Structure 1
Amino acid sequence: MKVLIVLNFATDKPWGQLSVESFTDNIRSHAPDAEISVCRLASGEDLTNSSQYDLIVLSGGTFNLISDVPLPWVEQALALIRRTAKDSNGTKLLGFCWGHQAIQFALGGKLDVLNKSNIGVETITLNAEGQNFFDGRSSLKMHKYHKRVVSEAALGFKLLGSNNEILLSESGNIMTFQGHPELTSEISRNLLDSDDGSYVDNSTISSITTPHDGLYIWGRLMKFVISP
């Protein structure tokens, strides 16, 4: 399995490298032989030929897709999304937080801003479709760290979790999550400690030490990636 992790943030803070390690560790815990490449897109690295990968993962980030003029790297991310949706050649695409929002935005969905940032572990209620996908579970516990959300999903996506939290394309090759299955309490604490006031001020913070379902979610996603 060839995997490309696209980083939509640029930072020299510890949480950046911890996030990369979490992505790679979670993937390799379920796919030990995975060949993993990292593209630091927001830091100026160019995307390589996306069609060569079995899986592309779009990370979180802070760029405001609602009101800011897209930077060149953002345009690259949106083009990648549209290209993969149009002609995936077997490539699966996963988006988390900003990646979730970017995928929906690129394909015609709508975004909105929360009154308060949402940080910490929360329970996501699954509908019938979600329960079927996630082995009969009625809910998932996931880390959150965001202040923008998907208010209307793009056409061609079905809802698996409440409030557009988890979306799966009808084509079966794109899945997006508002939450962060890669986050841990350590990464969340580092994010909080390095925040410049953009997220922590006027935020709603749930416990970041609450047990969560990240490892299970990654296991289910690896099955999703290798399924026809």
Structure 2
Amino acid sequence: MIHHLSPDSDDVPVRIAVCLNSYNSRFLPQIQASYVRALGRVAPYAQLAFFESAKGEFPEPSQFDLIVLGGANVDARASWDFVLKIHRFIRTLVTTYPDKKVVGICWGHQTLSRVFGAEIVNMDVPEMGVTSINLTEEGRKFFPHAAATGVVRLQQHHRREVAAVPARFTPLAQGSQIFLNDNNTILTFQGHPEKDAQTARLRLHDTQRWFGFDAVDEKAWAALEAQIATEHDGDAIWKRIMDWVGEPSKRLYAPVSK
């Protein structure tokens, strides 16, 4: 389905494909809506198309300016058939369209890292809610809105992380939270710039198995609710992504002949 966020706009539309990687999730409509809300605020001229990659739906890269590999509800270390199909799509994408802009979010961040040789490991303590992320010096340069503070804040929802920086990527934040490849074409986030508090609350039940929350522990739930409702940098991140889409690649790799 294609969403024309502002069909009457005179701006040249940015064509964005979002791959929804969750397997048989009942929350896919709400996740899709979160992208529509987030991009609608910062890029009203964008055209969004959604693909259920867990069902084998993939975009034709030539038809889009940006391809987003979103989150999922499976372990990024799994080698199930649909996961390997996504891996093959990524490899074909980066070899046939080496200058195509790609953003990975959460599971997409981990999966891109895995495809490029990094290991995914369990976290000592899972992350949920808005978290402050410390930028590297390269990150301060890349995100000018956070250059002074050196911090960006994003919704988090994960219990695994990338153990080390993949080859040919630069860390824009500490803790393997944000990567940019050397060709300036692949940008990945462990956090969720597309998520608002409304979407984050969909998976509150994970706290009971991740953190051992008691269902009636009012203080614990109140603290988590406050963290989820905290102001974050999602809109500023998407604005930067939209600018980045228009930046040239470094032309480091030649496309594979068809």
TM-score by length of 1: 0.89
Q: Give the Cα–Cα distance (whole angstroms) in 2 for the partners of residues 157 and 39 of structure 1.
A: 26
In the alignment, is the contact (CA less than 8 A) between 2:17 and 2:68 conserved in 1?
Answer: yes
Q: Give the Cα–Cα distance (whole angstroms) in 2 for the partners of residues 200 and 78 of structure 1.
A: 31
Report the Cα offset of residue 197 of structure 1: 5.3
Residue 86 (1) aligns with residue 95 (2): yes
Residue 71 (1) aligns with residue 80 (2): yes
Q: CA RMSD in A?
A: 2.1
Question: Please, which runs of 5 or more residues in structure 2 have no aligned partner?
Answer: 1-13, 214-219, 249-258
Cα gap change, 1:45/1:83 in structure 2, threshold over 3 Å: closer, same or farther?
closer
Please list every run of at least 4 consecutive aligned residues from structure 1 whose deviation after the TM superposition is greater than 6 angstroms: none
- Of 241, 244, 247, the match for 1:224: 244
Pairing 1:32-71 to 2, within 5 Å after superposition: 32-42=44-54, 44-66=55-77, 68=78, 70-71=79-80
Residue 182 (1) aligns with residue 194 (2): yes
The number of aligned residues is 222
Cα gap change, 1:157/1:212 in structure 2, threshold over 3 Å: closer, same or farther?
same
- Aligned twin of 2:111: 102
Report the Cα offset of residue 198 of structure 1: 5.0
Q: Give the Cα–Cα distance (whole angstroms) in 2 for the partners of residues 200 and 186 of structure 1.
A: 21
Of Structure 1 and Structure 2, which has the larger fraction of its residues in strand?
Answer: 1
> What is the CA deviation profile of residues 167-220 of structure 1, one whole-angstrom value per residue up to 9, with x for unaligned ones?
000100000011111111111112114x49554547x98511111111111111
Q: Give the Cα–Cα distance (whole angstroms) in 1 for the partners of residues 63 and 167 of structure 2.
A: 26
- Aligned twin of 1:153: 165
Indicate the percent of aligned positions where both proteins have the same amino acid: 28
Pairing 1:94-173 to 2, within 5 Å after superposition: 94-135=103-144, 136-137=147-148, 138-173=150-185
Question: Please, which runs of 5 or more residues in structure 1 have no aligned partner?
Answer: none
Give 1 or 2 for the bigger CA radius of gyration.
Answer: 2
The letter for the 2-side match of 1:222 is: M
> What is the CA deviation profile of residues 127-179 of structure 1, one whole-angstrom value per residue up to 9, with x for unaligned ones?
11000010024110111100110011211000110011000001000000111
Q: Secondary structure at the match of 1:60?
A: coil
